[in-house]
Amino acid sequence: MNKPYTAEHALVRGVAVRASLLKAASAVCAAAALAFAVQSAHAADASNGKVLADSHNCAACHGVNLNKPVSPEYPKLAGQHADYVFWALRQYQMGNGNVNFGRSNPIMQAQVQSLSERDLKDLAAYVESLKGDLVEKK
């Protein structure tokens, strides 16, 4: 027997429509995630990082190839993971007045204040690319 159009039909149709909307939405999300991945892959440019490190004179404190600090209170940087370096630099930027989220160090804060997020990523990629002698002492 042919049933008239019922609330049940409407419900089933609604679910189908919602499912296809969801599919479309997740396709959009996947595309966005991909675009983001591509963008962050492009963001790290170690050669631009070197240009920035030279023009900002990072070696004045962190030493030749950022591996021979001029004083023991300046850390060795060469070879450190880019992710770590990026977040360290970002934290110095945020440090001012944000003790929970940032690193409060007036010296480093001054070094990174004018740099963009992309600059920080490029610097981080450069630091990671350097051969360093940070070692675990046995």
Sites of contact with ligand HEC (CB under 6 A): 53, 56-58, 60-62, 73-75, 77, 85, 88-89, 103, 105, 107-108, 111, 123
Looking at the Cβ atoms of 4 and 44, the one nearer to ligand HEC is 44
Only one residue has tokens 């050669």, namely 47
Nearer to ligand HEC, 44 or 58 (CB): 58
Please state, in angstroms and rounded to a whole number, the distance separating the CA atoms of residues 85 and 79. Answer: 10
**CB of 29 or CB of 110, closer to ligand HEC:** 110
- What is the smallest separation between the CB atom of 118 and ligand HEC, expressed in angstroms? 14
Question: Least Å distance between CB 85 and ligand HEC?
Answer: 5
Shortest distance (Å) from residue 10 CB to ligand HEC: 60
Sign for the pseudo-dihedral over CA of 63, 68, 72, 76: positive
Tell me how far, at minimum, the Cβ of 138 lies from ligand HEC, in Å.
Answer: 21
* Residue 130: how many other CB atoms lie within 10 Å: 18
List C-alpha distances in Å: 81 to 1, 17, 35, 64, 130. 70, 46, 24, 18, 10
- Ranges of beta strands (E only) in 20-111 are none
